[in-house]
Structure 1
Amino acid sequence: MTDSTETTEKLDYSKTLYLPETEFPMRAGLPQKEPEMAAKWKEMGLYKRLRASAAGREKFVLHDGPPYANGNIHIGHALNKVLKDVITRSFQMRGFDANYVPGWDCHGLPIEWKIEEKYREKGKDKNEVPVNEFRRECRDFAQGWINIQSDEFRRLGIEGDFDNPYTTMAFHSEARIAGELLKIAMSGQLYRGSKPIMWSVVERTALAEAEVEYAEVESDTIWVKFPVVEGAADLKSAAVVIWTTTPWTIPGNRAISYSSKIEYGLYEITEATNDFGPQPGEKLIFAKRLAEDTATKAKVTFKLVRDVTGAELGAITCAHPLASLGYTFAVPMLDGDHVTDDAGTGFVHTAPSHGREDFDAWMGHAKALDARGIDTKIPFPVDDAGFYTEDAPGFGPSAEGGAARVLDDNGKKGDANKRVIEALIAANNLFARGRIKHDYPHSWRSKKPVIFRNTPQWFVYMDKELGDGTTLRSRALSAIDETRFVPAGGQNRLRAMIEQRPDWVLSRQRAWGVPICVFADAEGNVLKDEAVNARILAAFEKEGADAWFAEGAKERFLGSEHDGERWQMVTDILDVWFDSGSTHTFTLEDRPDLKWPADVYLEGSDQHRGWFHSSLLESCATRGRAPYNAVVTHGFTMAEDGRKMSKSLGNTVTPQDVMKESGADILRLWVMNTDYWEDQRLGKTIIQTNIDAYRKIRNTVRWMLGTLAHDHGDEIAYADLPELEKLMLHRLAELDQIVRKGYDEFDFKRIVRALSDFANVELSAFYFDIRKDTLYCDAPSSLKRRSALFVIRKLFDCLVLWFAPMMPFTTEEAWLSRDPSAESVHLEQFPEIPVDWSNEAVAEKWKAVRTVRRAVTGALEVERKEKRIGSSLEAAPVVHIADSDLIKALEGLDFAEICITSDIKVVAGEGPAEAFRLDDGTKVAVEPKLAEGQKCARSWKITRDVGSDPDYPDVSARDAQALRELAALK
């Protein structure tokens, strides 16, 4: 006995415990560790290993919307790419071949501008440089940024075919884009037309709807008199008054629109207090609803002489208010549905050169106007630089002072408004003037105002019948109905845009891009010759689109069978949205490792007017359906206070800074935690919140790794597991459904919340807490301990694998820490959950158990606060339960173990009035009592059997047995 006692006194019991042991650090060190891991993935060829492992599986394809190759990535790029990466990884880990091929949009104005800036710095003129030399510099510039962005995306943990991405400037891509254009041209959908389109004076090019955004501006607003020259006798002495916020468009006026649904009146001025304009005795025609407000603007009062009918208005012809400057043509009245009496005068100044509705109204009445002898030719009053032409008498190049200008090269207002207003005053036809703040279109890229300008361009018909009873518009609308949208509201947004959009303007007046590679005659007829097309496409495939601009290209492509005098090469380039809208052809169709159509397109919500839109139209024009089965959209990232991120405000957050300070997995976790379908916020506080959330997840994983250091891989039959372990497996079965459904529905926040709550609440604060005593102290042979290790192994596998698409670096570190011989967690599949793990009976029973446990832990917390106990192991509470179902649920359980007390007594009944009770009405009352006995030197439990084993006099019987088994193993 003496020898034995001396031995136990010298024994360090901490060395006999199965305490967690792991090299997986508490501090992640992500900024240092992640680049090393990314380099390792690249070195080991992880992408190729993924493809090899997925060979033969069903393909899942997320087609990458191409970012523009002209700068470092920003937070929007990071949000977008992380979402794509998580989707791709999650499908890869669920039995699909989910190949991600990144892509880049390389053509277009921003890159062209950068090269032009270089030229200007060197005093060079772009127009003096051979076009293909200029294009080569654009190509080199784009490639440089593709290389930089590739590295930045990889730093984010994005896995894909970065060694073989798609780019719109690759020769094969350019050939395919040209091929798509030629398909449209050969089917009769392409035409040259003269329409008012949005024109950027700053960029000297046409713009599509998708390239325009709106910003508030302050504009001149004028009310203008158009003298009546034909009509009812008493109206000939009157004038029709229009209102406009674009005085510079008055030289382009050719008609006045009214609505036969609006009530109009003839008014006579009785008093005037203005400095110029209308005077007493003048007669004017207004919408009756707007007359008084208009009179106030001109500082006049007037009386209603009589009503004017729609028929009378239709018979009126006016003179142009600037007739004295040479605008001697008749100005007819046109009935139009677009006219309202919500604002203005009830009449719309109609300049078909400067507005879509104006153009439509003019062309809609063209036959009737022709019959009246009115010239319906649409003028070109403004040139590409914003100057008036000779089609604007009095303001063009031959006018005194030279041509007036609408906007200058910097997007600033020119002198056009001023000169037009002065001319109207001189002609005594300005009724009133003012200023107004309103939304006005601006170029998406230059952020400068645009103008509507009539100019010849190439268009794709939206409403031409295509030989099968459909139009491009009807095809696109049908395709939208067949597409899944996440969130669902995206469907209505895209539908509204397709329903309202005009014909698609394809032409741009630039140099860097794929040319509109057709030949046309003077009337705009397109040469339709498949042999010519084949020569063009073969050249593009071999030499790229530069072949179109090479010397002798016209003769080379036309050959000897066509008249080079009649057929001219079109020198415009394609709208870059046509380029990106065609990417499905040379990626999804042409790569054997992908498929067409894509399962999903994912981009920001602005792409309803951009890539989603152009891809839909291009594919419907050539294939009759959308190139995607689903469209997922995300919002935009705002600063923490909800304002737009801006360098001037100093609230910009860059992904580079976040990764440098906190790591890519923190940034990725932020993406997963956001309601990304809406606009989201990011700043220091939000980043810290995600760091805290990450730390809790990491600590849970770390504890499991430490505990599993003592795991021998025992497989325990489900029937032999304790109920608590069965409960954990049931929760894994439930979570498996949540995780898989969440990934299917792209609802990542739901997954993170479910897994985080499970790790923090059900594992760390419940299951692990309860099982620590068993895991640390039980004998090696203990079934309960081996069962717990078995379940923790399953918990670890599930959590790490489920989190792997979201936090690829951390999960890789954890997986390899558990098994250094493993290749990568990303080559694994999500765990298959056995059917029998789902056990509703156990789950229902343990709801009752946890209800009673909450009451006990609540009572013990009060005891701690009052410092009557320091640890729950000092307690042996008496639990009074007045609910038979709750009592039944505790039968057969070691409830003291579950409550982490040294002892516990459960009795039926209400319990004394002073006992602790929860406020939720639970019929449980707890009397705190102190445990009786001695404290075990090994497990720290207070029990009456400490010393019952003479070989180990200072430990409990359970711990003595464990020590004996451990000694036998040495």
Structure 2
Amino acid sequence: MCADTTETAEKHDYKSTLNLPKTDFPMRAGLPKREPEWLKRWEEIGVYDRLREKALARTGEDGKPVRESFVLHDGPPYANGNLHIGHALNKTIKDIIVRSHQMMGFDSRYVPGWDCHGLPIEWKIEEQYRKDGKNKDEVPINAFRAECRKFADHWVGVQREEFKRLGVTGNWGEPYLTMDFHAERVIAEEFMKFLMNGTLYQGSKPVMWSPVEQTALAEAEVEYHDKESFTIWVKFRVETGDDPTVVPDLSTLTEAEMRRRELMNAYVVIWTTTPWTMPSNKAVVYGSDISYGLYEITGRPEDCWARIGDRYLLADNMAADVLGRARLDETMYRRLRDVDTAEFEGLRLSHPLSGQDGAEGEWDDLRDFRAAEFVTDTEGTGFVHCAPSHGMEEYELYRDLNMLQEVITYNVTDEGMFREDLPFFGGTYILNRKGKEGDANAAVINKLAEVGGLLARGKIKHSYPHSWRSKAPVIYRNTPQWFAAIDKEMAVGADRFTIRERALSEIDKVNWTPKSGRNRLYSMMQARPDWVLSRQRAWGVPLTCFTKKGALPTDDDFLLRNEEVNARIVEAFEAEGADAWYEEGAKERFLGNVVNPDDYDQVMDILDVWFDSGSTHAFTLRDRADGTEDGIADVYMEGTDQHRGWFHSSLLQSVGTTGHAPYRNVVTHGFTLDAKGMKMSKSIGNTIVPEKIVQQYGADVLRLWVAQTDYTADQRIGDEILKGVADSYRRLRNTMRYMLGSLSDFTEADRVQPAEMPELERWVLHRLAELDQEVRARYARFDFQGVWQAVFTFATLDLSAFYFDIRKDALYCDGDTLARRSARTVLDLLFHRLSTWLAPILVFTMEEVWLDRFPEPGSSVHLQDFPDTPRDWLAPDLAERWSGVRAARRVVTAALEVERTGKVIGASLEAAPVVYVSDDTLRLTLEALPFEDICITSQISIAAGAGPEGAFTLPEVPGVAVVFARAEGEKCARCWKILPDVGSHAAPGVCGRCDSAVA
């Protein structure tokens, strides 16, 4: 280049002639401040309602909507506090499901809901009453219920705004609430179906009982925590059960009878971790296939409850452990002989408190002694103490023997206290009012020790049921409750089945994500007992039934089953809510002129809140215009704990009233842990509040964390994890910003048809077509992690690191060329797909992206569908060819990086490498392409063969070698390529391509 040309080039400003990106889209997102603006805009333009109108407006030739219905039924959160991170995870997953299906062409509807009844709210009002010195029992029940309703309503409002702030879409103006009058009417109506089909019954059996909350609990309301319990080994003296006044003639007894008599006055030893159940003992059971022995004490240490000469019946596997607990080593006892369980037949046992002064005969009856299948010799003593009022296995054993009347006790009150008139222990508490250890266990242990009934004592730390709400331990307690029988045949229409059988068959008709959810619920349904429907509280829907005075629960006329009475109740509930049940004169109002009200008692228990939430399908899916035609949801989605909760109760309730499951798909997520994998706890101080994440990063980063994680397992969250998510977000944001800048003045006149495009653009279209199929398939499978990984990998590796890197030169420096117009056409196609594919995840950011191009009033990315992507864009042969091109490019860029690191060159445009290619097909492909543009060099040469010794190679790309050479010529002042023709054109200091562009 001559001096004059160089001087002219230096003076000429070519920057203004470049097609540099133009966009106001900021690099810094500022999400915490800007997201509320989009929320406000969506509300103003009514995005959710416009989508519903759009669906209704379009019908096919058959008159049916073009868009197929898709409904996710919301598992109701509880309305009693601010959101925690689990809420954010849960609602974001639901929102991604709803939005993605809408954009895949469905009419995707979502009605948010709340669980408003139940103990936690009632407990809060009681706490306030105690603080104010008020007595709940002195307040009219409907006044108390009004306080509960007000409390729930407040938190519904708070949580609704918090959910909306997370970008969750839905019919927020018309949510469903279990405390709405219509909902309370339907819940009662659904309960009456159990009443009328004969599955409802009143029974008295052991249920999990919370003394703190004074109500029965379902398994779903219980969680297990470690608890330290007293443990005791108790002696029951063996009795033959014969008349003690009759002296047998020993000479007439058989050897078996003699061996049996030899057991008289020996002791059967039991072990229990619930000493408080000993006053309710009615039997001891053994295992018919366990090896037992008779052990005699021959010596003892000073501090020991065993006495020399005592004989104990013990399972051989546990004898050493038991006697060791009594401080006896192996030199202090001997095994006298084997004991066949046939010898136990006809024996009875005396309770250790039998015959004690002051016992008033409470424990004088001999205790039953028989075999039971649930006894093992792997723990305890090989014998199990039975208090059927406080243990389900024992209860079922004696129920099946028709002996319940003989063994059921009522020693424990609602407060968890022994009845006042129980000798020795009356008025003592198993648990105190705060759920801590009461004085009953100590009283029982001390009394047993006093009368010589103990062999040993100790403590054990074990997993123990606690109330999910109060966090206090629970007890098993026999109490009259209302149950739904799940093994009794019933009818729905002409169909006859048991609830358990039908529930198990329906489980296999449902699609489970993950698949393990099916096995979890199936095994629970196989083993579960009858459903306890009743709770002894005030805030909820009552069990709307009446019992006949003087009748027994087993009598056919015990329950009033009358359609006219039922109709009166539901009519009142629809107009006034469930409070109508508690109004003065309610019984007469509902029964008058149908039956004599004086002949019946009104049941005042309330329904288990799981029945409430299990019934939500009936008044949300069935009764609403935005529900479903068949009352079945496309998706139920909750945490894994809901296999025993909402999924479970919904299945039981729906099968019991309709004969089918209320869902087609069930999706579950795991629990959210801290960064170290620990469960979050306020006491530990490791909780993360969604509000703080939103304030620091914005809701989109929180949503992206949800999408990045495998939500089907437990997931972790913490500061470093969120920083990583924010970094991924920034990289994606920059990709979108690059496209916006390059499309600033794109018009339809610039569009190029795929057939006319260069191969590189057609390869991008192929990848788009592949990705379109993958994105749709993964969204349909609720696999958002897969969606994000696929799109993000494409955006960062295929686009930013490859396609954009290559086409930046043509976009910036070309004039009106086919390459530039093709690239911009592809960018437009990319824009419409990336912005919509990611809109269900990054709801705010993709709206910002969309509005940057389409700022018209009423415009929104969330009103769009995923664009149809032509299948003829798929070009597998071209893709395979470009796989080789990309591999060869990697070798070139790696070779140039060596030169750049060694400071031989400063940029790749200073190079003109020679690329040796052994494979003729690949070599011809590279020769047919502008491979120098693909490698971002000024010049490149393609040569056949393996290349000279010392040429640069990569082991993973065999057959390609690179020899470095510098580019020849001068540097173009506009595009910076080094070319021989620079300076030989009209525009000073530029190459031919730039000269044309400038002209």
Task: Provide the rounded CA distance (Å) in 2 between the counterparts of 1:246 and 1:151.
Answer: 47
SS of corresponding position for 1:100:
strand
Q: Deviations over 1:576-628 (max 9, x none)?
A: 00000000000000012121200110000000111001001000111111100
Bigger shift: 637-646 or 539-548? 637-646
Q: By how many angstroms is 1:3 displaced?
A: 13
In structure 2, the residue matched to 1:452 is: 476
1:388 matched to 2:388: no
**Alpha-carbon distance change, 271 to 5 in structure 1, aligned in 2, over 3 angstroms:** closer
**Matched-pair contact (CA < 8 Å) for 1:213–1:443:** yes
Correspondence for 1:372:
none
Which residue among 166, 176, 187 is the counterpart of 1:166? 176
Among 433, 441, 454, which residue is 1:430 paired with? 454
Q: Which of these residues, 280, 283, 288, is aligned with residue 252 of structure 1? A: 280
Q: Distance in 1 between matches of 2:726 and 2:137?
A: 54
Report 1:522-601 matches (<5 A): 522=549, 523-524=552-553, 525-595=558-628, 596-601=631-636
Q: Which residue of 2 aligns with 1:319?
A: 350
Q: 1:290 aligns with which of 310, 318, 332?
A: 318
Q: Please state whether the residue corresponding to 1:923 is helix, strand or coil.
A: strand
Structure 2 Cα separation of the partners of residues 557 and 307 of structure 1: 67
Alignment RMSD (CA, Å): 1.6
Q: Which of the residues 373, 376, 394 maps onto 2:406? A: 376
CA distance in structure 1 between the aligned counterparts of 2:111 and 2:312, rounded to whole angstroms: 66
- 1:506 aligns with 533
Output one character per residue of 1:893-934: Cα deviation in whole Å (capped at 9) or x when no partner: 011011000000111122222221113252211111110001
Query: What is the aligned partner in structure 2 of residue 399 from structure 1?
Result: none
Deviation, 1:689, is: 0.3
Alignment partner, residue 280 of structure 1: 308
- SS of corresponding position for 1:551: coil
Question: Is the contact made by 1:274 and 1:298 (CA closer than 8 Å) also made in structure 2?
Answer: no
Which of 248, 265, 268 aligns to 2:293? It is 265
Counterpart of 1:488?
515
Q: Shift of the alpha carbon at 1:205?
A: 0.8
Q: Deviations over 1:431-469 (max 9, x none)?
A: 111111111110011111001111111111121122555
Structure 1 residue 185 corresponds to structure 2 residue 212? no
Name 2:666's counterpart in structure 1: 631
The alpha-carbon distance between structure 1 residues 261 and 631, as it changes in their structure 2 partners (threshold 3 A), is same
Contact 1:322–1:424 (CA under 8 A) maintained in structure 2: yes
Per the alignment, in what secondary structure is the counterpart of residue 958 of structure 2? coil
Residue aligned with 1:28, SS? coil
Structure 2 matches for 1:682-761, cutoff 5 A? Answer: 682-713=717-748, 714-761=750-797
CA distance, structure 2, for counterparts of residue 385 and residue 926 of structure 1: 86
Give the Cα–Cα distance (whole angstroms) in 1 for the partners of residues 975 and 745 of structure 2: 18
How far residue 815 of structure 1 moved from its aligned partner, in angstroms, is: 0.6
1:565 positional shift: 2.9
Give the equivalent residue in structure 2 for 1:762: 798
Offset, 1:561:
2.9
- Contact conserved, 2:344 with 2:369, CA < 8 A, in 1? yes
1:948 maps to 2:984 = yes
Mapped to 2, the partners of 1:173 and 1:274 lie a distance apart of 69
- Shift in Å, 1:646: 2.1
Cross-structure match for 1:869: 905
Structure 1 equivalent of residue 257 of structure 2: none
3-state SS of 1:140 partner:
helix
Deviation readout 1:82-123 (Å, 9 max, x if unpaired):
000000000000110101100000001111111112212211
Matched-pair contact (CA < 8 Å) for 1:68–1:104: yes
Change (3 A) 1:929 1:9: closer
1:199 aligned partner = 209
Structure 1: distance between partners of 2:465 and 2:284: 23
1:460-471 to structure 2, matched below 5 A, reads 460-467=484-491, 470-471=497-498
Q: Distance in 1 between matches of 2:422 and 2:380?
A: 25
In structure 2, the partner of 1:967 is none
Is the CA contact 1:600–1:628 (under 8 Å) kept in the aligned structure 2? yes
CA separation of 1:86/1:99 partners in 2, compared to 1, >3 Å: closer, same or farther?
Answer: same
Which stretches in structure 1 are left out of the alignment for 5+ residues? Answer: 370-374, 397-402, 965-970
Q: Shift of residue 393 of structure 1?
A: 3.0
The SS at the match of 2:946 is: coil
Instruction: Tell me, yes or no, if the aligned pair for 1:211 and 1:445 is still in contact at 8 Å.
Output: yes
2:962 equivalent to 1:926: yes
CA contact (8 A) 1:269 1:282 kept: yes
Q: Deviations over 1:384-438 (max 9, x none)?
A: 1111015743312xxxxxx211001101111111111111122211111111111
- State how far apart, in whole Å, the 2-side matches of 1:441 and 1:651 are: 24
CA distance 1:274–1:361, change in 2 (3 Å): farther
Give the drift of 1:4.
11
* Superposition map of 1:594-633 within 5 A: 594-595=627-628, 596-633=631-668
Aligned to 2:144: 134
1:276 to 1:2, Cα distance in 2 relative to 1, 3 A? closer
Deviation at 1:629, TM superposition (A): 0.7
2:728 is aligned with what amino acid?
A
Of 825, 844, 853, which aligns to 1:790? 825
Check conservation: 2:6, 2:989, Cα contact below 8 A.
no
1:809 corresponds to: 844
Q: Deviations over 1:777-821 (max 9, x none)?
A: 1112x1111011001111111111100000010000101101112
Q: 1:494 to 1:665 in 2, by over 3 A?
A: same
- Kept in 1: contact 2:286–2:370 (CA 8 A): yes
Partner of 2:121: 111
Amino acid at match of 1:49: R
* C-alpha distance in structure 1 between counterparts of 2:302 and 2:975, whole Å: 98
Q: Cα distance, 1:287 vs. partner?
A: 1.1
Q: Residue 784 and residue 933 in structure 1: after superposition, are their counterparts in 2 closer, same or farther (change >3 A)?
A: same
> For 1:336 and 1:699, how far apart are their aligned partners in 2?
70
Q: Is the 8 A contact 1:18 1:710 kept in 2?
A: no
Distance 1:131 1:262 in 2: 55
Per-residue CA deviation, residues 289-312 of structure 1 (Å, 9 max, x unaligned), is 111211111123322222222222
> What is the CA–CA distance in structure 1 between the aligned matches of 2:127 and 2:601, rounded to whole Å?
31
Deviation at 1:566, TM superposition (A): 2.5
User: 2:511·2:666 contact (CA, 8 Å) conserved in 1?
Assistant: yes
Q: How big is each residue's C-alpha offset from its partner over 1:204-259, in whole Å with a ceiling of 9 and x where there is no partner?
A: 11100111111111111111111111162111121211110000000110011111
Is the alpha carbon distance of 1:747 and 1:933 closer, same or farther for their aligned partners in structure 2, counting shifts above 3 Å? Answer: same
Return the alpha-carbon distance in structure 2 between the equivalents of residues 216 and 3 of structure 1. Answer: 89
Kindly state the Cα deviation for residue 274 of structure 1 after the two structures are TM-superposed: 5.2
CA–CA separation in structure 1 for the residues paired with 2:55 and 2:934: 45
CA contact (8 A) 2:388 2:407 kept: no
CA contact (8 A) 2:304 2:327 kept: no
Distance 2:441 2:3 in 1: 111
Does the Cα contact within 8 Å between 2:891 and 2:957 map onto a contact in 1? no
What SS does the aligned partner of 1:847 have? helix
- Show the counterpart of 1:32: 33
Inter-partner Cα distance in structure 2 for 1:89 and 1:116: 41
Contact 2:304 2:326 in 1 (8 A): no
Distance 2:179 2:591 in 1: 24
In the alignment, which residue of structure 2 is the partner of 1:214?
A: 224
Aligned counterpart, 1:419: 443
Tell me if the contact between 2:8 and 2:989 (Cα under 8 Å) persists in the aligned partners.
no
Whether 2:688 is the aligned partner of 1:658: answer no
